[in-house]
C-alpha cells in the first residue's frame, strides 16, 4: 500500500475489520501489515504442532549389567543395544558394582569396551566410561547415516 500515516493505516484496517500489526518496528519507516491477527496466531500454532509431529524424539535406553554378568547375557544385551541404536535411540550402559566388586573396576571397564567394539559400526561414543559412585556409565550415540525411518518405503523388487 506504500507509506501511510498511522491514522490512515488504522482507518483502512478498521474498514476491512482487520488488525494493524507492526512487523518491523526498527525499519525506517516502520513496516506494518493489515491482517486478521487471530487467524495468523491460529495458523502459526497449527504449523508448530505439525512440525512437532514430524520431529523424532530421541530416547535414552538404559542397559544395566553387573561385573559378573555372563558372556551369553552380554551378547543378548548387545543385540538389544544394536536394535535401539538402529532405531535412532541413544543407549546408556550402567555397570553396577556391589561390595567387593568395587575393587575390580577393570572388569566393568572391559565389559563396556566390549559394547563399544560390538556397536562401533553403528554407534559413536557420546560419553566415555566413567565412575559415578557405585556405577560405571557410558553413553553410545547412533551414527547419523544409520538412523532409519521405519516408514520409508522399500524399493520395488523385480521378480
pLDDT beyond 90 at 92: yes
Mean pLDDT over residues 104-113, rounded? 88
Tens digit of each residue's pLDDT (9 = 90 or more) over 49-81 = 988 887 777 788 899 999 888 889 989 999 999
Which residue did the predictor score with more confidence, 93 or 159? 93
Rounded distance between C-alpha atoms, residue 109 and residue 135, angstroms? 11
**5 bridge partner residues:** none
113: Cβ–Cβ under 8 A, 6 or more apart, which residues?
A: 129
Please report the domains of the chain, with CATH numbers, ordered by start residue. Answer: 6-52 (3.10.20.80), 60-142 (3.30.110.10)
Instruction: Supply the pTM of this predicted model.
Output: 0.57
Tens digit of each residue's pLDDT (9 = 90 or more) over 5-23 = 888 888 888 888 888 888 8
Amino acid at each position: 500500500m506504500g507509506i501511510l500515516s498511522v491514522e490512515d493505516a488504522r482507518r483502512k484496517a478498521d474498514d476491512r475489520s482487520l488488525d494493524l500489526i507492526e512487523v518491523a518496528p526498527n525499519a525506517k519507516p516502520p513496516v506494518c501489515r493489515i491482517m486478521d491477527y487471530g487467524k495468523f496466531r491460529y495458523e502459526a500454532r497449527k504449523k508448530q504442532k505439525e512440525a512437532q509431529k514430524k520431529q523424532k524424539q530421541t530416547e535414552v535406553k538404559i542397559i544395566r549389567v553387573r561385573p559378573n554378568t555372563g558372556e551369553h547375557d552380554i551378547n543378548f544385551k548387545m543385540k538389544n543395544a544394536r536394535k535401539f541404536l538402529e532405531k535412532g535411540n541413544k543407549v546408556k550402559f550402567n555397570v553396577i558394582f556391589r561390595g567387593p566388586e568395587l575393587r575390580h573396576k577393570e572388569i566393568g571397564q572391559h565389559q563396556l569396551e566390549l559394547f563399544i567394539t560390538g556397536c562401533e559400526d553403528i554407534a559413536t561414543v557420546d560419553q566415555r566410561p566413567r565412575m559415578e559412585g557405585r556405577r560405571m556409565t557410558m553413553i553410545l550415540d547412533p551414527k547419523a547415516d544409520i538412523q532409519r525411518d521405519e516408514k520409508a518405503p522399500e524399493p520395488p523388487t523385480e521378480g
